[in-house]
């Protein structure tokens, strides 16, 4: 399977569009020495916690278990244009400032309920901005973080084999498989999209 088909399948499964997907699929690298030093270990730890708030540990491991912070940093460094990169990078400070303003503490020290409340507020903000967004305007930083969390998690081994039901060697087509509420979606890496 080629990378373009794999990403297309992943995006179909997760129901998301990756901002910067054209750059990712073309295999270009925008990494510069300045970009490679842009994310500190503290930034990566913050992105781990943001990802874990978006996809928390339940009966399956959460986003932090797949190293989502390092994944987000690598994707931003290698694949995002300058405007999207700046939006994501600057958004980390904005999230911490908003948490201090709303909850009186840093995001890293906030309770899970405070983190969730803040990210829900940011999600509503990014949805409104996305509807009004014009060409050339960078995406909202939280949209980028959310999409990278989904992409990184569901393309990881944990996401593919523990969060989704995985069929390594697909069998016959059965279009009438009964669904029970709460069951996981299926992942099949050989299925054509």
Domain that holds residue 131: 3-166+180-187
Residue 150 — very low, low, confident or very high, per pLDDT cuts 50/70/90?
A: very high
Sign of the C-alpha dihedral computed for residues 45, 156, 146 and 135 taken in this order: positive
Does residue 89 lie in a domain region? yes
Does residue 172 lie in a domain region? no
Does residue 35 lie in a domain region? yes
Regarding predicted confidence, which is higher, 129 or 45?
Answer: 45
146 pLDDT exceeds 90? yes
pLDDT at residue number 18: 47
Angle at 15 between CA 14 and CA 21, to 5 degrees: 85
Q: How far apart are CA 39 and CA 54, in angstroms?
A: 20
The whole-chain average pLDDT of the chain stands at 83
pLDDT at residue number 60: 92
93 pLDDT exceeds 70? yes
17 pLDDT exceeds 60? no
Does residue 193 lie in a domain region? no
pLDDT at residue number 23: 46
What is the per-residue pLDDT across 169-178, written as a single tens digit (0 to 9) for each? 666 777 777 7
Does residue 192 lie in a domain region? no
DSSP string, 6-57: HHHHHHHHHT---TTHHHHHHT-----HHHHTTS-HHHHHHHHHHHHHHS--
Does residue 70 lie in a domain region? yes
Report the number of distinct structural domains present in the chain.
1
Does residue 175 lie in a domain region? no
Element of type H or E holding 166? strand 165-166
């Amino acid at each position: 399977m080629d990378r373009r088909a794999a990403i297309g399948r992943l995006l179909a499964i997760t129901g998301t569009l990756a901002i910067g997907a054209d750059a990712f699929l073309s295999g270009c690298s925008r990494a510069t020495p300045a970009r490679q030093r842009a994310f500190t270990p503290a930034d990566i730890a913050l992105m781990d916690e943001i990802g874990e708030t978006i996809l928390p540990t339940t009966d399956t491991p959460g986003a932090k278990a797949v190293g989502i912070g390092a994944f987000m940093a690598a994707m931003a460094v290698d694949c995002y244009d300058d405007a999207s990169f700046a939006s994501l990078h600057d958004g980390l400070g904005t999230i911490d400032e908003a948490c201090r303003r709303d909850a009186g503490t840093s995001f890293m020290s906030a309770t899970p309920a405070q983190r969730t409340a803040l990210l829900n507020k940011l999600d509503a903000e990014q949805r409104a901005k996305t509807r009004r967004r014009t060409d050339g305007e960078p995406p909202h930083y939280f949209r980028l973080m959310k999409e990278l969390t989904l992409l990184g998690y569901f393309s990881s081994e944990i996401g593919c084999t523990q969060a989704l039901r995985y069929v390594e060697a697909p069998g016959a087509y059965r279009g009438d498989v009964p669904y029970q509420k709460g069951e996981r979606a299926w992942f099949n890496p050989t299925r054509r999209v």
